[in-house]
Amino acid sequence: MRVVVSGGSGFLGSHLCEALLSRGDSVCCLDNHSSGRPVNIAHLRHDARFAFEAWDVTERFSVSGDVDAVVHLASPASPVDYQRFPLETLAAGSKGTENMLRLAERHSARFVLASTSEVYGDPEVHPQDEEYWGHVNPIGPRSVYDEAKRFAEAVTMAYRRSLAADVGIVRIFNTYGPRMRSYDGRVVSSFIRQALRGEPLTVFGDGSQTRSFCYVDDMVRGLIAMIDSDRPGPFNLGNPNERTVRELAELIAVITGSHCGLRFLPLPVDDPVRRRPVVARAREALGWQPRVSLEEGLRNTVDWFAAQSRTPLRPSHQSPVGRPS
Ligand code: UDP
């Protein structure tokens, strides 16, 4: 297959490009390097089946030759990133999704949208299955991401209804692993960075809020199963193993041997209280389920972060997200 991956230099995108190449596919990776990093795909550049285009998905994109699938991952994805770039986030989810849908349509290719658990907002139903319509504050600070992804789902389904487009939607829950940016503001990367530097772990609120963390390799298997499927979804992809943020901090402290304790800071506005996916649909339709335990995944991630700190990247690679072009 030849697969176009938007956001292919990002944390998740780079793992997807790598997995597609290793099963024999060709990959055209698009990224504007607003939050994706060249270093994430540097090891793929020598592969003749890998092509990179510096591209902002809010611009129309065309490519010659066959395309079998388009996977739209491009967007700022951590709360710190999307609140820093609210307009760019809205554009990536709206214009960006339509441009990638058009690209898929022109090539009669399958289109896979990376949607998010954030479409459920601060859920009043627990755990969350795909029937739940969500509880999103449309004017809050997270709305730029949540509503952009909700629009992205709507336009994807409109292409299916009006053009019979071959589309699939996955709703991605919290995912972690190697290649997260240490300053992306997410909880796993922040806690690991702090623990390895001998700093206290910054727990927001009292740490009783929950998330369910999925290791990146499991997520990539789910994405590939959706590329290969003809089902529209939406399907939740995530690990139903739910933990409080405080439990996560304590686990990372044990794995890293940190004795620096916790530092409690105010809870951000509209921070969801509980989140856990029901993955029965993905299991039935895609034959997919997560395999990697939180302990194992965190150990791999800590090892990766520790290796990075032994061979530090240039400061620009470690700094928070740059402005999208
Ligand atoms: N969080 C925290 N300390 C941090 C960063 C995040 O306690 O240094 C909390 C955050 O308030 C949220 C949870 O961890 O309740 C997950 O945050 P993240 O930004 O990783 O993802 P999201 O909120 O999008 O699920």
Pairing of strands 242-244, 210-212: antiparallel
Q: Provide the pLDDT confidence category of residue 311 given band limits of 50, 70 and 90.
A: low
| Greatest Cα-to-Cα distance within the chain, rounded to the nearest angstrom | 58
Sheet holding 2-6, edge to edge: 50-54, 26-31, 2-6, 69-72, 110-116, 167-172, 235-237
State the average pLDDT for the chain. 95
* Residue to mutate (ligand 1; options 184, 211, 269, 273; most atoms within 8 A of CB): 211
Identify the pLDDT of residue 96. Answer: 98
Instruction: Please say whether the beta carbons of 135 and 272 come within 8 A.
Output: no
Above 70 in pLDDT, residue 317?
no
Predicted confidence (pLDDT) per residue in 34-82, tens digit: 999 999 999 999 999 999 999 999 999 999 999 999 999 999 999 999 9
Which CATH number, 3.40.190.10, 3.40.50.720, 2.60.120.1360, 2.30.110.10, labels domain 2-308?
A: 3.40.50.720
Residue nearest atom 4 of ligand 1, based on CA coordinates: 187
Instruction: Please say whether the beta carbons of 58 and 35 come within 8 A.
Output: no
**Sign of the torsion formed by the C-alpha atoms of 110, 222, 157 and 117:** negative
What's the CA gap between 24 and 12, in Å, rounded?
A: 19
Residue nearest atom 13 of ligand 1, based on CA coordinates: 187
Identify the pLDDT of residue 322. Answer: 40
What's the CA gap between 292 and 216, in Å, rounded?
A: 9
Q: How far is CA 113 from CA 78, 172, 314, in A?
A: 17, 10, 32
Q: How far is CA 261 from CA 183, 254, 287, in A?
A: 20, 11, 41
Identify the pLDDT of residue 321. Answer: 41
What's the CA gap between 224 and 231, in Å, rounded?
A: 13
Above 80 in pLDDT, residue 150?
yes
Question: How far does the centroid of ligand 1 lie from the alpha carbon of residue 186, in Å?
Answer: 6
CA angle 153, 157, 162 (to 5 degrees): 150
Residue in the structure block whose two tokens are 């760019």: 88
Q: What is the mean pLDDT of residues 275-298?
A: 98
Structure tokens at 247: 């439990």
Question: How far does the centroid of ligand 1 lie from the alpha carbon of residue 190, in Å?
Answer: 9
Enter the pTM of the model.
0.95
Question: How far does the centroid of ligand 1 lie from the alpha carbon of residue 109, in Å?
Answer: 36
Above 90 in pLDDT, residue 241?
yes
Ligand 1 site, CB within 6 A: 78-79, 174, 185-187, 190, 202-204, 209, 211, 245, 268, 271
Q: HSE (CB half, 13 Å, CA atoms) of 85?
A: 20
Which ligand 1 atom lies nearest to the CA of residue 249? 7
Which ligand 1 atom lies nearest to the CA of residue 186? 20
Q: How far is CA 291 from CA 90, 164, 176, 230, 240, in A?
A: 33, 34, 14, 24, 11
Predicted confidence (pLDDT) per residue in 86-138, tens digit: 999 999 999 999 999 999 999 999 999 999 999 999 999 999 999 999 999 99
DSSP string, 158-219: HHHHHH---EEEEEE--EE-TT--TTS--HHHHHHHHHHTT--EEEETTS--EEE-EEHHHH
